[in-house]
Structure 1
Amino acid sequence: MEADLREIWADRIRYNNFVFKATISADPILNAKDCINVVVIYEDYCRLAFIRLNKLKTLHGLMLTTYVDNRWTLIREVVHTEDKFYAMNRWSQLLSFDITAQSNLNVKLVGHKISGTKFMQRYLVYSTEKKLLMVDRYCFYEKVDGFSKRVTKEFKVFYFNFDRCEWTEKKTLGDVALFIGDNSSISVLASNFSGCKPNCIYFNHDCDRIGKDFKHYNFAVYNVETGIVSQPYAKYANTLVNMANRPCIWIVPTFQASD
């Protein structure tokens, strides 16, 4: 059993932790001119790396300037707002920074840690209301075939009060729907998308960091008002996700009116 667990963790380090997560400053298709900064969380220590796309073109395309900040480790989340990037480490400390042409990066600690439970995962989301949100996902583990299987129990949502430098709980999302996951987390107005439920959190099955890797079964919708977890997906959609055995990526469709 111990040898099997060591092999599982070795595989995760080799294949999952070289690039843990990445985010960009703008949509490279809709706003190509503004897409100049890329931030990644990389390797097993979860450090920050910053990539700036220079406007000076070469024979092989755009020049890249890369900076690595070794001062901060075990970064769990990173998100881009209008003018800054925000990151959160395993101790739930909130960091802010922007990327300049200098190699001297201005990473600042803006929010101190907030207490949590052992079986909890946190996500950063920049909302449609232009607020920085932190979403807490509470889970419990049940035994299946001798291994721990994760089940999502509830969510709590907080927004960051920049005047007080503290998190304040948000009891309702209104017309907003959140889509969260390891790969990406987004916020949309539910009324803009047919079938999208307001005041709800759509969640994916993220990487299980303890026990055995199970198929991607833990994805559903959480109603913030009622606290009820529901399964809105059709049976064939559930089957396809389970067959893929890959973390899902949320994609926001864009529509253009025809003349």
Structure 2
Amino acid sequence: MFPLIYYHDITFYKDRMLGVTKRGGILSMEVVKGDESSKIKISKIAPELKVKSSVDRYFAETTDGHLLMVYRYHNNDSYHNSAYEIYKLIIDSNGKLECVPIANLGGESLFLGQRSCGVSVLASNYPGCLPNRIYSGVNCIDGLELDDHHLQVEVFNLEDKSVATSCFPAGCFGSDFPIWLVPTMNL
């Protein structure tokens, strides 16, 4: 029987299916083939976080193939007090995980959204995109009135830890959650 686990984000990376749980633990899922049947094996490869504030978790793969785990810490009283931590995840052939903190994206920018996979791009390839920034789409609610919610994009600067925000008016999008698309077609 498949265990019921709430995953905040899931990714497929180098022949492994990885999930991050609601509490920040990282799980590896693999199909183990037997003689007559197959089973799904779930292994915890990183413990859950011990934090008091709300935390969002995202996987993102860099343009040079490294897997990142991004933690967005936010205060529930305000949507303008976010802080971010980024870790490069190194998984050896035995499934052992090493988390290496990183403070610089090397000219890349990350795009994150609720219920969507993170995207990493080389900022110099996209006019207006700033390097070493995290662009994060979040819902914000004015005065806790559900009719007044709108999409906010946070831009977190990794160099000075500042946060800038842009809000889109209610009704601007048909979806509450952003979807980041990376154009790859050469014309």
TM-score when normalising by structure 2: 0.79
* Secondary structure of 2:70's aligned partner: strand
Number of aligned positions between the proteins = 176
State the 1:162 CA deviation: 2.7
Are 2:180 and 1:253 aligned? no
Q: Which has the higher helix share?
A: 1
RMSD of equivalent CA atoms? 2.7
Unaligned 5+ segments in structure 2 are none
State the 1:165 CA deviation: 2.3
Task: Name which structure has the greater RCO, CA cutoff 8 Å, separation 6+.
Answer: 2
Are 2:96 and 1:161 aligned? no
State the 1:74 CA deviation: 1.8
- In the alignment, what sits opposite 1:83? 15
- In the alignment, what sits opposite 1:136? 71
- In the alignment, what sits opposite 2:79? 150
* Secondary structure of 1:141's aligned partner: coil
CA distance in 2, matches of 1:188, 1:202: 11
Are 2:64 and 1:125 aligned? no
Which amino acid counterpart does residue 87 of structure 1 have in structure 2?
Answer: G
TM-score when normalising by structure 1: 0.59
Question: Do the aligned partners of 1:179 and 1:187 also contact (CA within 8 Å) in 2?
Answer: yes
Aligned-pair identity in percent equals 25
Which amino acid counterpart does residue 56 of structure 2 have in structure 1?
Answer: Q
CA distance in 2, matches of 1:98, 1:192: 35
1:187 aligned to which of 87, 107, 120: 120
Question: Do the aligned partners of 1:137 and 1:152 also contact (CA within 8 Å) in 2?
Answer: no
Which amino acid counterpart does residue 49 of structure 2 have in structure 1?
Answer: I
The structure having more radius of gyration, on CA atoms, is 1
- In the alignment, what sits opposite 1:109? 44
- In the alignment, what sits opposite 1:227? 161
CA distance in 2, matches of 1:109, 1:72: 14
Unaligned 5+ segments in structure 1 are 1-68, 143-148
